[in-house]
Structure 1
């Protein structure tokens, strides 16, 4: 696991051991963690004088569960997907978070009213709205119209990048097969619907390059290993706007999701963890993060404060997954569906991969 020690002062020739008051914050790495470091970590450390130790992971609750069950919780704050927040709370792996600690909006609107509907849970506080999309290199691929093209190997021959997880893949496969977005989860509730999704994925299975970390899809495109890949929208934006890569997002069939802060049950630094969660999800901090990556803030009051990318010239609003022009065929992640069905579908997905 990648670890980054972010310190408030330079320590020369002195061995440093994490002290009890240091905060370990775990997230997804790459451009996303950088946006959090710039918008949340550095200002919080400057204000409190405490140190944040930043660690990266690839998602899921396996390590949280292992730490909690062993009674040795080393993580303090964790960035998770919505379905994991729901499930982790239901399974007693996460601490409840009193929403009254969250600061009001600048105009006095209470946090509970200011956060986007559905983004505050018993054990979690959302920070961003993001999406799984598909993308391609415009210098090598043209004429892409929608999600059906991702599965059209005759028209667009070449490898495809997919996350090594059934989540989002099943939904996008059904939409590529002609299922309207608003019917996808009703279909996945049936054996026939799940069979149909896997049958659609069968059509490209031999041409898939599997990825696990969010930094991989832009690299796969840059290296020419794939013609198209699913990806987190902010990673493609960062590669295009921040690195000059000729990448383009196609928003058709995007899967909208929240990422949220949670605190593992038994975290050793509860007071600091709660302070960090409240600080990092205030109106200004969420707007600040959006200048580093194209993920939408979870607070309504942050929206008007979102301006330019940190290059000082690229307007961010049109690159947000929640921009009106990008919502034509969007699907909100079925959080409860995945909380209820993740284990069963993981098992089937892994068996499918092995055959």
Structure 2
């Protein structure tokens, strides 16, 4: 069970004095593209300026394979990684990640303790809450000009909305999308997926569009697939589509119906070569101002209540960011919270079955 285990500080302290810099460096691994840029400008560069610690940034596509390989080989060169919530739970259970029980976190600007200020379940034994993000569906407005798709059921309706579909190459979120498209209420999805009948039903629904799916693996691919018109509609990370609309002026539309929310978390790789600097970074990233620094650049929400008061205009385009967040009231009419614990328990079996389905 995920739980908040961090002790909070009585006040927001400076990591180092203004003229005494720390030494060394730090390798942080994130998801590349517009999200990585938002993190670099919103957190990484301010951290470097505040501490003198050099941040080296690497990209990856998620999962634990690279972390597991480094830890098991004893050749760890990553320090901090931005992971999905189920990977935090699995990695912690397998001993791939450092425990954070001695990490002290800053209070909110008004003195509210970190424990009260963070969203429920944002933090875990090995993970520090970073962002709330969503997997949504999106389409190019020029493709469906009349009566455009507005529901998850429309995504699976090839007769009414013909064209290729983009989906991430994973059973995660795809099973949930399939069941919601088939009429299952969000609150019943994981109970149904816990049965053989539910898994079979999800596969059966995916079968209806299988021949029309182009699978993607990186967050940068869905907006590119839409721009190139390789797909008519795709699942995607909401922030990547927002960036394409807001910054690149692409004619894309986000459909929020049945979106799936998740938390991104900072973790420290077990045996990280720069452990002390990694902990200093997590303390810095936990600040409300740090979280807002990302959310004012890309539409992923902060995981501290106090940070929401700091979310305002996009730093470059001056657009109001709050209506574009997954948790905005207008976007919250019908959605599903990702059940990381469920996926941590069922992941291996379902990934194996999904792989067989892909090959058939």
Residue 63 (structure 1) aligns with: 66
1:76-98: CA deviation from partner (whole Å, max 9, x where unpaired): 00000000001111111110113
Pair 1:26-2:19 in alignment:
no
1:71 is displaced (CA, Å) by 1.1
**Of 237, 244, 267, the match for 1:232:** 237
The 8 Å contact of residues 26 and 54 in structure 1, kept in 2 or not, is answered as yes
Residue 209 (structure 1) aligns with: 214
1:312 is displaced (CA, Å) by 4.2
Residue 327 (structure 1) aligns with: 332
1:145 is displaced (CA, Å) by 1.9
Residue 15 (structure 1) aligns with: none
Residue 190 (structure 1) aligns with: 195
Q: Figure out how many residues of one structure are paired with residues of the other and give that number.
A: 336
Q: Secondary structure at the match of 2:241?
A: helix
1:311 is displaced (CA, Å) by 2.7
1:297-347: CA deviation from partner (whole Å, max 9, x where unpaired): 011100011001123431111100001111111000011110011111100
CA distance in 2, matches of 1:107, 1:148: 44
CA distance in 2, matches of 1:302, 1:50: 24
5+ unaligned residues in a row in structure 2: which ranges? Answer: 1-22
CA distance in 2, matches of 1:266, 1:50: 19
Task: Name the TM-score, length of structure 2 as normaliser.
Answer: 0.92
- Written as runs of structure 1 = structure 2, the 5 A alignment for 1:62-81 is 62-81=65-84
1:187-246: CA deviation from partner (whole Å, max 9, x where unpaired): 000001000001000000000010000000000000000000000000000000011001
Residue 146 (structure 1) aligns with: 151
- Written as runs of structure 1 = structure 2, the 5 A alignment for 1:273-288 is 273-288=278-293
CA RMSD of superposed structures (Å): 1.0
Q: Secondary structure at the match of 1:121?
A: coil
The 8 Å contact of residues 26 and 274 in structure 2, kept in 1 or not, is answered as yes
The 3 A distance-change label for structure 1 pair 312 and 224 is closer
Residue 40 (structure 1) aligns with: 43
CA distance in 2, matches of 1:72, 1:145: 48
- Written as runs of structure 1 = structure 2, the 5 A alignment for 1:167-316 is 167-316=172-321
**Of 48, 52, 62, the match for 2:55:** 52
The 8 Å contact of residues 162 and 229 in structure 1, kept in 2 or not, is answered as yes
Residue 111 (structure 2) aligns with: 108
Residue 91 (structure 2) aligns with: 88
1:47-76: CA deviation from partner (whole Å, max 9, x where unpaired): 111211100000001111111111111100
CA distance in 1, matches of 2:232, 2:317: 31
Q: Secondary structure at the match of 1:311?
A: coil
